């Protein structure tokens, strides 16, 4: 599912940002974008976590083996942006048409390089992250039959026809779906690493939780550790959507205070609503049309932790993420069966 979700995620971002049909799902031509993006986010994450590498001039060594993938990725980004620039501003109802309007009015004018850095940011920020939560959801649903059945019942009872599944009140009213998404974001946060911040207080130290933070010090919390802290989440390694549906307000607000998959505050994620819409649609439509199960044999265990493996990677029920600013992952491998209703109700 990782591979297919990545194709889907990039296709959506292509349309959303630049009105461009990348068509990774249906045409293999541009699929080299996926490894290209992976190596560039890996490299970026190294700079962020180990700034010394850049200062020592060692940054050229990271990803040197994958230079071809990075260059090819950069080439198609140029092509996508170039194609969009050659079209009228409002040729598509995409992000570009809004951003360009904004820059038109800015005092310093339009900077093509700004557009470039936005594009470089947007593909991983909007595409890769949603890919992870959708892949994780397929992983956890395929391993938790109770959650799977409850979700399938909710979706199939809410929507009489496949065509009815679209953004709106019916979809947002699917409370169990929302709980399943939140639980996947909690247990497998797509941006799982530490997002460093330099607290600023007019040159004075900042006090956090009784600790004096001298000016110039960077601080940060990893969403993964926060989401697995037992002080906030009981049995944190269990996938349990019901934890989000309890009546106990105090406990709910305690959990929400430590739930930060999109980061928090003024620089928190701008695409949060888009994520819930996209993930909700993909999962609801898939479950309406298909039943699915884990593939047999060795294929079926791809994405799981392996018992005995070092470094907290021994939990078979946990979808394995590797921090690359976003996340690298693989699997799950699933088998899909078209439901009888799916055949009769779609046109
Ligand atoms: C599961 C999906 C997503 C997750 C987990 C996620 C997570 C995050 C996080 C943690 C940040 C803060 C980064 C930092 O402070 O350094 C962020 C920022 C941002 N995200 Fe997302 N994101 C997701 C999906 C999206 C989507 C779909 C879009 C666009 C449609 C998007 C657009 C943005 C933007 C524009 C920012 C920068 C906000 C700012 O700096 O003001 N994200 N996201």
Instruction: Residue 255: count other Cβ atoms within 10 Å of its Cβ.
Output: 18
In a domain, 206, yes or no: no
Burial class (CB in 10 A: 0-12, 13-18, 19+), 290: middle
271 lines ligand 1 (CB under 6 A): yes
What is the extent of the structural domain holding 55?
Answer: 2-191+222-345
262 lines ligand 1 (CB under 6 A): yes
Q: What is the pLDDT of residues 67-98, one digit of tens each?
A: 777 788 888 888 888 888 889 989 999 988 88
190 lines ligand 1 (CB under 6 A): yes
Instruction: Residue 156: count other Cβ atoms within 10 Å of its Cβ.
Output: 14
DSSP annotation string for 54-108: HHTT-GGGTTGGGHHHHHHHHHHHHHHHHHHHTS-TTSSSSHHHHHHHHHHHSTT
The structural domain count of the chain equals 1
Distances from the Cα of 42 to the Cα of 47, 85, 328, angstroms:
9, 29, 9
Q: What is the pLDDT of residues 245-262, one digit of tens each?
A: 999 999 999 999 999 999
In a domain, 61, yes or no: yes
Question: In this structure, which residue's CA is closest to atom 14 in ligand 1?
Answer: 195
pLDDT at 342 (0 to 100):
59
125 lines ligand 1 (CB under 6 A): yes
In a domain, 209, yes or no: no
Distance from first CA to last CA of the chain, Å, rounded? 26
In a domain, 240, yes or no: yes
In a domain, 204, yes or no: no
**pLDDT: which is higher, 72 or 154:** 154
Question: In this structure, which residue's CA is closest to atom 32 in ligand 1?
Answer: 271
Binding residues: 269
Task: Give the position of tokens 């349309």.
Answer: 15
Instruction: Residue 329: count other Cβ atoms within 10 Å of its Cβ.
Output: 24
User: In the numeric block, which tokens belong to residue 40?
Assistant: 């560039």
ipTM, two decimals, is: 0.97
Give the confidence band of 200 by pLDDT, cuts at 50, 70, 90.
confident
Calculate mean pLDDT across residues 191-219: 88
Q: What is the pLDDT of residues 158-195, one digit of tens each?
A: 999 999 999 999 999 999 999 999 999 999 999 988 88
* Beta strands 206-208 and 322-324, pairing class: unpaired
In a domain, 137, yes or no: yes
H/E segment holding residue 345:
helix 340-345
Give the confidence band of 287 by pLDDT, cuts at 50, 70, 90.
very high
133 lines ligand 1 (CB under 6 A): yes
pLDDT at 343 (0 to 100):
54
CATH classification at residue 116? 1.10.630.10
Q: Is the pLDDT of residue 114 over 90?
A: no
In a domain, 146, yes or no: yes
Binding residues for heme: 269
Give the highest mean pLDDT range of 56-60, 70-74, 140-144: 140-144
The rounded Å distance from CA 9 to ligand 1 centre is 14
Calculate mean pLDDT across residues 201-212: 89
User: In the numeric block, which tokens belong to residue 261?
Assistant: 């998959």
Closest CA to 174 of 287, 85, 96, 326: 287
Give the confidence band of 286 by pLDDT, cuts at 50, 70, 90.
very high
191 lines ligand 1 (CB under 6 A): yes
In a domain, 253, yes or no: yes
Q: Is the pLDDT of residue 347 over 70?
A: no
The length of the chain, given as a count of residues: 347
| Residue 272 CA, distance from chain mean position | 10
The rounded Å distance from CA 157 to ligand 1 centre is 32
* Ligand 1 atom nearest to 195, measured from its CA: 16
pLDDT at 153 (0 to 100):
98
Q: What is the pLDDT of residues 23-52, one digit of tens each?
A: 999 999 999 888 888 888 888 888 888 888
């Amino acid at each position: 599912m990782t591979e297919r979700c990545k194709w889907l995620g990039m296709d959506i971002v292509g349309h959303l940002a630049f009105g461009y049909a990348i068509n990774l799902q249906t045409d293999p031509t541009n699929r080299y974008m996926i490894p290209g993006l992976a190596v560039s986010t890996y490299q970026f994450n190294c700079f962020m976590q180990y700034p010394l590498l850049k200062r020592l001039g060692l940054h050229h060594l990271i990803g040197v083996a994958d230079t071809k993938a990075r260059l090819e990725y950069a080439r198609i980004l140029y092509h996508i942006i170039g194609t969009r620039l050659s079209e009228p501003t409002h040729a598509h109802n995409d992000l570009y048409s809004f951003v360009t309007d904004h820059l038109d009015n800015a005092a310093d004018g339009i900077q093509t390089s700004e557009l470039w850095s936005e594009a470089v940011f947007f593909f991983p920020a909007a595409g890769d992250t949603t890919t992870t939560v959708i892949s994780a959801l397929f992983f956890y649903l395929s391993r938790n039959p109770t959650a799977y059945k409850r979700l399938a019942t909710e979706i199939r009872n809410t929507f009489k026809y496949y065509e009815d599944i679209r953004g709106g009140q019916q979809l947002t009213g699917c409370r169990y779906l929302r709980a399943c998404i939140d639980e996947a974001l909690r247990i497998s946060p797509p941006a799982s690493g530490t997002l460093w911040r330099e607290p600023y207080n007019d040159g004075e130290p900042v006090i956090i939780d009784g600790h004096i933070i001298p000016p110039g010090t960077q601080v940060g919390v990893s969403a993964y550790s926060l989401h697995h802290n037992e002080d906030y989440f009981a049995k944190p390694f269990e996938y349990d959507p019901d934890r989000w549906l309890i009546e106990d307000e105090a406990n709910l607000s305690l959990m929400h205070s430590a739930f930060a998959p999109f980061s928090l505050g003024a620089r928190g994620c701008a695409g949060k609503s888009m994520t819930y819409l996209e993930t909700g649609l993909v999962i609801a439509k898939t479950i309406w049309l298909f039943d699915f199960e884990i593939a047999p044999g060795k294929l079926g265990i791809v994405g799981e932790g392996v018992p005995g493996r070092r470094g907290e990677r021994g939990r078979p029920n946990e979808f394995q993420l590797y921090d690359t600013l976003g996340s690298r992952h693989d699997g799950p491998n699933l088998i899909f069966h078209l439901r009888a209703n799916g055949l009769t109700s779609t046109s």
